[in-house]
Amino acid sequence: MNQLTSAKRNAIPYALAVVGVLFASICFGLVPYFSRGLTDQGLAPYAVAFYRYILAAVVLLPALVMHHSKWREIIWGMVAGAVMGLGWVGYVTALETVPASTVGVLYMTYPVFTIAIAWALFGDQPTRRSLIAAGLIVVAAIFAGSPASVPPDQIPILLVSLAAPFGFGFGICVLVHRLSRIAPLARMASVSLGSVIGLAPLILSSEVGEILPEGGGDWFLVVGFGLVTALIPQLIYTICSPIIGATRTAVVGSIELPTMFAVGVLAFGEVITGAQALACALVLGAIALTQSRSTRTVTTVISKEPES
């Protein structure tokens, strides 16, 4: 079995796998462009979050049906997805008014939440290196949220945006500690479906104008959002990240944050402050520090073949 798996992975050249991870990470970094485009059309933040997950949930649903016997793991994945989906509403809400670069830095604090949740819920004690990296990320968040970067009246919105990295950190912990025995596509499907179910009550209790785009162009943006920032890059990650390994996946994937900065500058005319640039450098340094040893990320856990 392991030989067959290795043969499948080696069918894709290493360099092409690196390009795949790079491409997928850039797609993830484009989230602010689609998100703000949809909220500017009057869609509620939770509707934007719903549209990001619904396409993957529908397309990957057969994977859940095929692995229905693993219902305990599937339920864990759905719970993680619900927490991630609801937390992501805070991210979209912040993007309505706060610079994309600032929100991006705060979103990249998810390793801090991952460490804390893994320690508190699963007894996974952090290493000294991971604690140092977490400290760098906290300092980066302080710089990003300083008065030099955002007005003081936006601080409450920034605090709300931290729900997204909290949810992502919880999702990583569940993927690592509860979902290792189901197939990668089933993991993705359970998390996506959980996000949709978690956001469904908000969708069902909303006015039509808050959740449905008005014109065909807006629907094109919705479909592009689901494809470009979720389904396609997730599948590419699933295929390519095991080939290049956890360390290089994380280092190459760190292009997501500079992509968010570029979106803010090119699409929204934002000006990157010195504090934001320093925050970005600190986050990238923390990623390089933690990934100099073999570590697990949400992507590599999703991509890893289940044990037989």
Q: What is the pLDDT of residue 306?
A: 54
Task: For 3-22, write each residue's pLDDT tens digit.
Answer: 444 444 457 888 998 999 99
- What angle, 0 to 180 degrees and rounded to 10, lies between the N-to-C axes of helices 45-59 and 71-95? 150
**What pTM does this model have?**
0.86
Give yes or no for a contact between 95 and 32, defined as CB atoms under 8 angstroms apart: yes
- pLDDT tens per residue, range 244-256: 876 677 778 889 9
Alpha-helical (H) ranges within 145-207 are 155-161, 163-177, 184-204
Q: Is the pLDDT of residue 159 over 70?
A: yes
N- to C-terminal Cα separation, the chain: 8
Q: Is residue 226 part of a domain?
A: yes
**The predicted structure's pLDDT at residue 184:** 86
189 belongs to a structural domain:
yes
Q: Looking at the predicted structure, is the pLDDT value of residue 148 above 90?
A: no
| pLDDT computed for residue 292 by the predictor | 54
Rounded distance, CA 272 to CA 269, Å? Answer: 10
What confidence tens digit (pLDDT) does each residue in 31-86 have? Answer: 999 999 999 989 999 999 999 999 999 999 999 999 989 999 999 999 999 999 99
Would you state the pLDDT for residue 164? 95
How high is the pLDDT of residue 289? Answer: 80
Number of domains in the chain: 1
For residue 5, what pLDDT is reported? 47
Is residue 260 one of the residues assigned to a domain?
A: yes
Would you say residue 295 has pLDDT above 60? no
- What is the tens place of the pLDDT at every residue in 182-232? 888 898 999 999 999 999 999 999 999 899 988 777 899 999 999 999 999
Please report which helix (H) or strand (E) contains residue 61, including its range: helix 61-66
Q: Is 79 a domain residue?
A: yes
What pLDDT, on the 0 to 100 scale, is given for residue 4?
Answer: 44
Predicted pLDDT at 162: 95
pLDDT, tens only, 216-230: 778 999 999 999 999
In a domain, residue 178? The reply is yes
Instruction: Give me the residue label for tokens 């793991």.
Output: 73
Could you tell me if residue 308 is inside a domain? Answer: no
Full residue range of the structural domain in which residue 241 is found = 2-303
Confidence of residue 291 (pLDDT cuts 50, 70, 90): low
